[in-house]
Structure 1
Amino acid sequence: MSAATEAPSFFTATSAYSLAAVATIGFLANTGANALLPKSARWQDRFTFIWLAFDAMIHFSFEGSFLFLSVFGRQVNTSVGPFAEMWKEYARADFRWGFSDPTVVSLEILTVLGAGPMCCFILYQIVKNDPARHYWLVVLSTAELYGGWMTFCPEWLTGSPNLDTSNPLYFWVYLMFMNLIWVFIPIWLMVDSYGHIAKSMRYAQAVAKPKKS
């Protein structure tokens, strides 16, 4: 098999430092939950804290680096450095991340500058046990689901010209796994928050309802 057609390795140097960075972010998120939340906190709130802390750090570091390279370096494919190499690896699965597709960059601007700070605000609300966080969790989750939809729906409608779905590594790991966690977890957060909001509204309605004489 020639070098041009050789299947990519499932574990490269880029894979190693990317995995180490993700693991470090996960460790920091879990450490933050242990330090800032009481031991009596619901497991749902603890999980939400860890996810939001992880989410924020991913947005600011990984996606923030993509945005920086795309706006100031013009595109990933012509940039150098560890973050550039990481995004070049991902761009093998989705070519748009390599040449700074305007739609992807536009979505990442909202993600890095909008979703990232919102995660931090909700983390503050969780620490303060502010029930208003459930509204913002629905807003954040809706935005992230919409961002994922607008990232991939244009490709599906045009036959996925920028996606390499023929390679199992690219399809199952890069495209499926690395994106579906931002589908399933936001949906779960929305369902959990809906339960809290609906319960509170129904209780308020019952309290406010005038009693029959």
Structure 2
Amino acid sequence: MVATAASSGSLPPDLFDTTTLVSLAATLVMLGAGYAASRKFLPANAKNSTRVLFVWHAFDALIHLILEASFLYHCFFSWIPVSSVSAEDIASKRFYMPEPSPFLGRPDRIYGSQAGAIHGNPFAKLWMVYARADRRWGGPDLGVISLELLTVLFVGPMTVWVCYEMAMRRSRVNVLMIIVATAELYGGFMTFCPEWLVLNDNLDCSNFMYKWVYLVFFNTLWVWLPLYALYVAISEIQDAFAVRDAVTKGKKSN
């Protein structure tokens, strides 16, 4: 989801620090939890597509309701006084401050993961790892927060609902998957399109990890899996319509 790459340079010294490794491990744990849930709640003979999509939506729910919810928490409740940092730090964009209006009308405060990390919060430190690649996640970017409010409050519960309907083997899950997938694709576009229009001003594509792992791999998961969910759900709905049409034609012929 990166349009252009920044100039290449030497690898940053903190590329594989403890916080980074813990952050990547936490993502794998959530994926493992999704798979374990599929083993518990889906029948052993469940179709491969059903199991893949159950794991995906369970993983998606954990990301939205734990990690992204923590991002929102720090945007609204973690702050440090502007007076505690130097003017040079602010001018050099070391701290993210929304322009042109101050966040929550408080020009005297710096909000977001950047503030939570200074206070030592582990979730804030996790987001500051990702913010090395996309600095908007270090602070209260207004576009990102607006999307995350919808994602956490609406899409997160919807993904849990999808998993529940799959476990109950209810066909209406296909309609829910279409809603969730459409929301994910739209949200991804609205997250990165503003950056494309300013030539990725907030993105750091200077090394493999930032560009291909953080920005491309992790973000395109929310492109390819929703597209696959759309394909499966629409196919199931089309099959149902085909059966109904066949029954209707049979009744007319009689």
C-alpha distance after superposition, 1:10-32 (max 9, x if no partner) = 42101221122122212221111
Q: Distance in 2 between matches of 1:82 and 1:178?
A: 20
Structure number with higher relative contact order (C-alpha < 8 Å, ≥ 6 residues apart) = 2
Q: Distance in 2 between matches of 1:19 and 1:94?
A: 16
| Maintained 8 Å contact 2:65/2:152 | yes
1:77 to 114, 118, 122: 114
Give me the CA root mean square deviation: 1.5
Q: Distance in 2 between matches of 1:62 and 1:155?
A: 22
1:173 and 2:213 are equivalent in the alignment: yes
1:107 and 2:112 are equivalent in the alignment: no
The number of residue pairs the alignment matches comes to: 209
Q: Which residue of 2 aligns with 1:195?
A: 235
Higher helix share: 1
When Rg is computed on C-alpha atoms for both structures, the one with the higher figure is 2
With 71-80 and 141-150 compared, the bigger mean Cα shift is at 71-80
Task: Tell me the amino acid that sits aligned with residue 77 of structure 1.
Answer: Q
Q: Distance in 2 between matches of 1:125 and 1:26?
A: 20
Question: Tell me, which stretches of 5 or more residues in structure 2 are unaligned?
Answer: 1-9, 79-110
Q: Tell me the secondary structure at the aligned position of residue 211 of structure 1.
A: helix
C-alpha distance after superposition, 1:145-182 (max 9, x if no partner) = 00000000111012111111223221111111110111
Instruction: Give the superposition deviation at 1:143.
Output: 0.2
Q: Distance in 1 between matches of 2:209 and 2:171?
A: 41
Question: Tell me, which stretches of 5 or more residues in structure 1 are unaligned?
Answer: none
**Counterparts of residues 124-203 of structure 1 (less than 5 Å):** 124-203=164-243
With 94-103 and 160-169 compared, the bigger mean Cα shift is at 160-169
1:86 to 116, 126, 132: 126
Percent pairwise identity = 40
- Relative to the length of structure 1, the TM-score reads 0.93
1:53 to 51, 54, 58: 58
Q: Distance in 1 between matches of 2:32 and 2:135?
A: 31
1:11 and 2:16 are equivalent in the alignment: yes
1:31 to 29, 36, 39: 36
Q: Which residue of 1 aligns with 2:100?
A: none
- Relative to the length of structure 2, the TM-score reads 0.78
Change in 2 beyond 3 A, CA 1:42/1:6 = closer
Q: Distance in 2 between matches of 1:6 and 1:188?
A: 35
Q: Tell me the secondary structure at the aligned position of residue 252 of structure 2.
A: coil
Instruction: Give the superposition deviation at 1:76.
Output: 1.3
Change in 2 beyond 3 A, CA 1:96/1:59 = same
Q: Tell me the secondary structure at the aligned position of residue 133 of structure 2.
A: coil
